[in-house]
Chain A
Amino acid sequence: MFKILTKKIMVPSIKLFEIEAPLVARKALPGQFVILRIDEHGERIPLTIFDYDRARGTVFIIFQEVGKSTMQLGAMEEGDLLLDLVGPLGLPMKEERDKKIVCVGGGVGVAPVFLKARSLYENKNYVISIIGARTKNLLILEEEMRQVSHEIYITTDDGSYGRHGFVTEALKEVLEKNRPDLVLAVGPVMMMRACSEVTRPYGVETLVSLNSIMVDGTGMCGCCRVMVDGKVRFTCSDGPVFDGHLVDFKELMSRQNRFLEEERIASERFIQMCRKIERCDN
């Protein structure tokens, strides 16, 4: 069992947990993720390691409530126990040194960018961060990202904070001004695809961290397969970080929708159950 030590509500639909998991904390590196299961009936939920504290033996995750499992997770409190947690899974990101690197995070995707940005910053790279959200009060980790960036750009789709527009527009501006060695983009598939398209004409290497649907996360089932450079790769064991210019995003987006119908049934059922419980409580 894995205890939730700290819970923090970042914005109403995005939460942070600090979880006791000494074996995972000992090994975690930027780019890796965990898979957790809430209870006996739960599915295996992949989440990026947002941060870790080796001394305390804990890992941090930040997740957005998008469906049944993440809503149920979000309802858990400090002191509650998760049934299973395994990791660190996936391959760590390659280390870089003395380079100029742009880190782009969109929405909850800022969370998986943070650890990478910090390690790049600590390894003497020049870090330019671009973080964005739909609107001001959905923006997360601004302060944290500032501390690990030499330059930072903030965008909101509705212009309520920072620059008006998408992260891709800021990215284009940065590419025009600078000649970065590497771009790292993490967020919704649409956003990662758009970023890869923006950098392609500039010929700047662009890494993306894919969030394919997974089951085991150890290369056993092939559920997470994606086409990269015309070859079948498993996101969990060959990735999750891949060269964005070579990923077949169209196929990935289609594969993300495999279980929409079932996901809807599960969420509706969960919301109804919560309503019933609330009624009993009153």
Chain B
Amino acid sequence: MPTQDQEKRGRNFDEVALGYTKEQAIEEAKRCLGCKKPECIKGCPVEIEIPAFIELVKERDFLVAIRKVKEKNSLPAICGRVCPQETQCEELCVLGRKDEPVAIGRLERFVADYEMENSSQPIDYSPQSINGKKIAVIGSGPAGLTAAADLAKLGYGVVIFEGLHDTGGVLRYGIPEFRLPKWIVDREVDYIRDLGVKIEVNVVVGRTLTIDELFKDGYAAIFIGTGAGLPYFMGIPGENLNGVYSANEFLTRCNLMKAYLFPEYDTPIKIGKRVAVVGGGNVAMDSARVALRLGAEEVYIIYRRGHKEMPARKEEIRHAEEEGIIFKILTNPTKIIGDEKGWVRGVECLRMELGEPDESGRRRPVAILGSEFVMEIETIIIAIGQGPNPLLLQTMPSLGLTQKGNIVADPEGRTSMERVYAGGDIVTGTATVISAMGAGKQAARAIHKDIEAS
């Protein structure tokens, strides 16, 4: 897919990956074999009828194609941009055995963008008659949005309660503008509102309202999609020095609060000349690329395992490399060094080598004795993962949790509490947008089934 010029893009917040033109889209669509038993669909957690929508692209029926997609997926412009297609639908495409798989994600993005540009009217979904039952959804991330959309389509009155002042969860506060422009999130959330879903922002369930109150208020079921929003720190000396951010703080300031537009926007962000991001996942790549765009001169990724073991998407790693992010692999920070005023001046690291595979199947990093060295750094961003936010769960003592504090739920989202369902990162730990959406879809189905049966 075409991308924005490498030189320029590392310094602006415009979208990096540019979309297909009509002609490019049709060319790509023509490669699809329209398999009778399409393997690709098995790789899509929200079950899009992939060959059917691609067929419509071939026929230049773009607006019908997007309707086909939206039968199953309420957030197509988002998924087309941030789904790890290479391990989802595209991994299973038969063409991929010999050649490149069909670029399903890009085609999905194309039809979604085409609709935004070419029809002002939202596609009329004609939801079924309202059945008089209402469902509460907690959290407006991809899991909550999908559960809400599907339940609304089934005729339920759905209210989403969101703790922040804006919708989207990680789509809004985590994934940066240049990967997922926020106006796209706005448009897709508006579509979900058009389906009849009500969204109440500024409501922290567990503080502003409780689960018991929601049931008393007449909600027939509750879906919890509160995500994995608790930042982990490394527990090494110096982590509270000025200049150390969690990735969540750094990205939230920048994305949700638009600190990259300071002082036009009030929330500040401070970035040093030399920045180190600790971690090797998507969150680390995003943080590094944001730091670069905020004006850092040198940005490092410090990761304790090897290149191959990095959990980030290949495409994101490539984009980061192209933009000039420097990778310090097999390196583990042991201490953050500060000056007398409490500001970060450097980070002490140990070199690592790869040992035997650990329980995750990746080779375990082992420290090389005596290999300490110091990097001069002014800003450190810690992106080593997130856990479940306990705020709501502490108010629900009878809800079954795993040792790590995630909600225990069956594959259809049923929890240990009657009429309480859950899905997305709060159940699985940090995963993907599309897996959270798949969980939202399953839970919506289960809620409907259980209500019908009762």
Q: Which residues of A contact B (CB under 8 A)?
A: 23-24, 27, 37, 41-44, 68-69, 83-89, 215-216, 218-223, 225-227, 232, 237, 251, 254-255, 257-259, 261-263, 265-266, 269
Contact = CB atoms under 8 A, between A and B. Distances in A.
11 contacts: A24-B208, A43-B265, A83-B165, A86-B165, A86-B204, A87-B204, A219-B391, A261-B270, A262-B269, A265-B263, A266-B266
B88 interface: no
Interface in B188-235: 201-204, 207-209, 229-231, 233
Interface stretch (B17-25, B242-250, B280-288, B354-362): B242-250
B233 A218 contact: no
Given A41-B266, A255-B242, A257-B242, A86 B252 contact: no
A41 B202 contact: no
Contact of A222 (B204, B242, B248): B248
Main secondary structure of the interface of B (DSSP, over half): loop
Interface string B336-376: 00000110000000000000000000000000000000000
A215 B201 contact: no
B179 interface: no
B266 A69 contact: yes
A26 B215 CA distance: 17
B405 to A, nearest CB: 12
B248 A220 contact: yes
A88 B208 contact: yes
Contacts of A259: 268, 270
A175 B341 CA distance: 34
Contacts of A265: 263
Please list the 9 inter-chain residue pairs (A to B) with the smallest Cβ-Cβ separation, ordered nearest first: A262-B268, A254-B342, A221-B249, A43-B266, A222-B246, A86-B202, A84-B165, A220-B229, A43-B267
A68 B266 CA distance: 8
A37 B165 contact: yes
B334 interface: no
A43 B165 CA distance: 11
Given A215-B252, A220-B229, A44 B257 contact: yes
Could you tell me the dominant secondary structure of chain A's interface residues? mixed
Contact of B248 (A221, A232, A251, A254): A221
A216 B249 CA distance: 9
Contact of A220 (B201, B231, B258, B341): B231
A251 B270 contact: no
Nearest to B233: A232
B270 A262 contact: yes
Nearest to B390: A219
B249 A237 contact: no
Contacts of B203: 23, 86
A221 B164 contact: no
A88 B207 contact: yes
A225 B209 CA distance: 25
Interface of B: 163-165, 201-204, 207-209, 229-231, 233, 239-240, 242, 245-246, 248-249, 252-253, 257-258, 262-270, 341-342, 389-391
Contact of B266 (A27, A42, A86): A42
A229 to B, nearest CB: 14
Contacts of B389: 218-220
A232 B112 CA distance: 44
B260 to A, nearest CB: 13
B296 to A, nearest CB: 16
Contact of B207 (A27, A83, A221): A27
Given A84-B165, A221-B249, A89 B204 contact: yes
B453 to A, nearest CB: 33
A261 B263 CA distance: 12
B268 A221 contact: no
Interface centre among A68, A216, A258 (most CB of B within 10 A): A216
A87 B269 CA distance: 25
A277 to B, nearest CB: 17
Contacts of A255: 240, 242, 342
A32 to B, nearest CB: 8
Contact of B270 (A223, A226, A258): A258
A83 B262 CA distance: 19
Q: Report which residue of A215, A254, A259, A263 has the largest number of chain B beta carbons within 10 angstroms of its beta carbon.
A: A215
A26 to B, nearest CB: 9
Contacts of A254: 242, 341-342
Contacts of B239: 232
B264 to A, nearest CB: 7
Contact of A216 (B164, B258, B266): B164
Contacts of A41: 258, 264-266
B202 A218 contact: no
Nearest to A67: B266
Given A23-B203, A84-B201, A251 B342 contact: yes
A92 B313 CA distance: 43
**Most chain B Cβ neighbours within 10 Å, of A86, A88, A232:** A86
Most buried by B among A24, A42, A262: A262
B240 A266 contact: no
B240 to A, nearest CB: 6
Contacts of A43: 257, 265-267
A266 B242 contact: no
Count chain B CB atoms within 10 A of each CB in A41, A83, A87 and give the residue with the most. A41
